[in-house]
């Protein structure tokens, strides 16, 4: 018998005992009342000559009245919390996601009540967080997509006016090309994220050289670090993994791209192997505040709220989902002028 059935059986037994106790109390009270009335002379005393039918009817009426009164009084105990619960659910349904249950009666210590209260409060908390993410999503999404569109439109308008030197034309065309590629990359990331969010089964699993994939990912990003004085420390041997090669490549590119954007000149990539493969991407530079470390994997969230740095807040959310599909984990550790992203994957 599982816990669910045991809980239902326990509740049924408690209700049965409760009803039986009410009946016993009602009968005892009725019998005592009959004796009291007999003692005071209001009715005849109970003896062998007493009409049993009359006595039975009288005790039945008294038992019914006492039992009904006791049931109504006892019924208020469980009903009041239910009314409070319904009221809180109505507030939640109307959009008040700050509502929380705080039981204060004797039933609050019951395991079933504690579990129900905890489940309700966690649900309300999740809905509140979802609402906050939704607002952030709308604000960041509109900002990130509007900026390159405005740039493209503005420089296209300048080109249309004419009277520009070849150097200015080339500069404006380069900006339009760059912003178009940026917009395209954002759209691609959104599509990729939508795809993996709806994916529940990992497909196209092959065994391949993970170390080689990490080195190739750094080379793919050469245009972003070649002109900067960045030192790479690739401290790993050859390691192999069974995984979806294309999806994991997105993880390394996003983590390395993030490190390149925020480094002050040093990036280290380390791979260690025991029961799992652990990949660390570390960069020196500005650290991430502790209160923002838990949110950087949320969609469209950027720790730089001014949006002055390049990025759209999709890459880390995409990386997290891909790692989760591989039954792995991803986290961040930020110390003074040093940030480390750690990925753990089954071999």
Distance linking the first and last C-alpha atoms of the chain: 37
Going by DSSP bridges, is the β-strand pair 329-335/338-346 parallel, antiparallel, or unpaired?
antiparallel
The pair of structure tokens assigned to 259 is 């490190």
Residue 322: band (very low, low, confident or very high) from pLDDT cuts 50, 70, 90: very high
* Choice between 8 and 138, residue whose per-residue pLDDT is larger: 138
Q: What is the pLDDT of residues 39-96, one digit of tens each?
A: 555 444 444 444 555 555 655 665 666 656 655 555 555 556 666 777 777 787 777 7
Whole-angstrom Cα distance, residue 83 to residue 230? 64
What is the structure's pLDDT at 197? 75
What is the structure's pLDDT at 260? 92
CA dihedral in degrees (115, 121, 126, 131; nearest 10)? 160
What number of other Cβ atoms are within 10 A of residue 218's Cβ? Answer: 17
Element at 76 (helix H, strand E): helix 52-93
Half-sphere exposure of 239 (CA within 13 A, CB side): 24
Distance between alpha carbon 208 and the CA centroid of its chain, in Å?
Answer: 33
Going by DSSP bridges, is the β-strand pair 263-273/240-244 parallel, antiparallel, or unpaired?
unpaired
Q: Are 241 and 347 in contact (CB under 8 A)?
A: yes
Where are the domain boundaries for CATH 1.10.287.130 in the chain? 133-197
The pair of structure tokens assigned to 202 is 């990992």
Whole-angstrom Cα distance, residue 344 to residue 113? 38
* Choice between 222 and 95, residue whose per-residue pLDDT is larger: 222
What number of other Cβ atoms are within 10 A of residue 327's Cβ? Answer: 11
The pair of structure tokens assigned to 330 is 């991803």
CB under 8 Å to 180, separation ≥6 — which residues? Answer: 148, 152
Tell me the residue ranges of DSSP E strands in the chain. 205-209, 231-235, 240-244, 263-273, 276-285, 329-335, 338-346
Asked whether residue 245 carries a pLDDT value surpassing 70, the answer given is yes
Residue 229: band (very low, low, confident or very high) from pLDDT cuts 50, 70, 90: confident
Where are the domain boundaries for CATH 3.30.565.10 in the chain? 205-346
CB under 8 Å to 137, separation ≥6 — which residues? Answer: 299, 300
Select from 179, 311, 309 the least CA-distant residue to 255: 311
Whole-angstrom Cα distance, residue 299 to residue 160? 37
Can you name the CATH fold of 205-346? Heat Shock Protein 90 (3.30.565)
Whole-angstrom Cα distance, residue 161 to residue 139? 33
Q: What is the pTM of this model?
A: 0.56
Average pLDDT value for residue range 115-136:
74
What is the structure's pLDDT at 307? 43
CB under 8 Å to 34, separation ≥6 — which residues? Answer: 43, 46, 55, 58, 59, 62
- Average pLDDT over the chain, rounded to whole? 76
The pair of structure tokens assigned to 340 is 């480390």
Of 30-34, 135-139, 190-194, 322-326, least confident by mean pLDDT is 30-34
Can you name the CATH fold of 133-197? Helix Hairpins (1.10.287)
Whole-angstrom Cα distance, residue 277 to residue 346? 6
The pair of structure tokens assigned to 262 is 């925020």
């Amino acid at each position: 018998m599982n816990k669910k059935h045991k809980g239902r059986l326990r509740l049924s037994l408690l209700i049965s005992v409760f009803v039986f106790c009410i009946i016993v109390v009602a009968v005892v009270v009725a019998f005592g009342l009959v004796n009291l009335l007999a003692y005071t002379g209001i009715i005849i005393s109970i003896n062998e000559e007493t009409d049993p039918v009359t006595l039975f009817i009288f005790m039945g009426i008294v038992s019914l009245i006492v039992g009904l009164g006791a049931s109504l009084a006892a019924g208020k105990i469980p009903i009041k919390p239910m009314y409070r619960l319904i009221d809180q659910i109505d507030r939640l349904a109307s959009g008040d996601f700050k509502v929380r249950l705080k039981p204060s009666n004797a039933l609050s210590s019951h395991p079933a009540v504690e579990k129900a209260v905890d489940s309700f409060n966690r649900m309300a908390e999740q809905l509140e967080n979802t609402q906050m993410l939704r607002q952030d999503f709308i604000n960041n999404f509109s900002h990130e997509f509007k900026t390159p569109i405005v740039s493209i439109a503005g420089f296209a308008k300048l080109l249309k006016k004419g009277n520009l030197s070849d150097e200015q034309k080339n500069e404006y065309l380069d900006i339009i090309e760059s912003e178009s590629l940026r917009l395209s990359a954002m759209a691609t990331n959104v599509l990729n994220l939508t795809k993996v969010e709806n994916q529940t089964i990992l497909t196209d699993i092959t065994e391949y050289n993970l170390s080689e994939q990490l080195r190739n990912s750094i080379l793919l990003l050469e245009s972003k670090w070649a002109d900067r004085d960045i030192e790479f420390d690739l401290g790993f041997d050859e390691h192999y993994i069974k995984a979806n090669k294309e999806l994991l490549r997105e993880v390394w590119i996003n983590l390395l791209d993030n490190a390149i954007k925020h480094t002050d000149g040093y990036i280290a990539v380390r791979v260690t192997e025991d029961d799992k493969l652990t990949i660390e991407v570390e960069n020196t530079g500005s650290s991430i505040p502790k209160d923002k470390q838990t949110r950087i994997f949320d969609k469209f969230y950027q720790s730089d709220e001014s949006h002055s740095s390049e990025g759209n807040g999709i890459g880390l959310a995409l990386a997290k989902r891909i790692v989760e599909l591989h039954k792995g984990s991803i986290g961040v550790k930020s110390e003074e002028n040093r940030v480390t992203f750690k990925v753990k994957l089954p071999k």
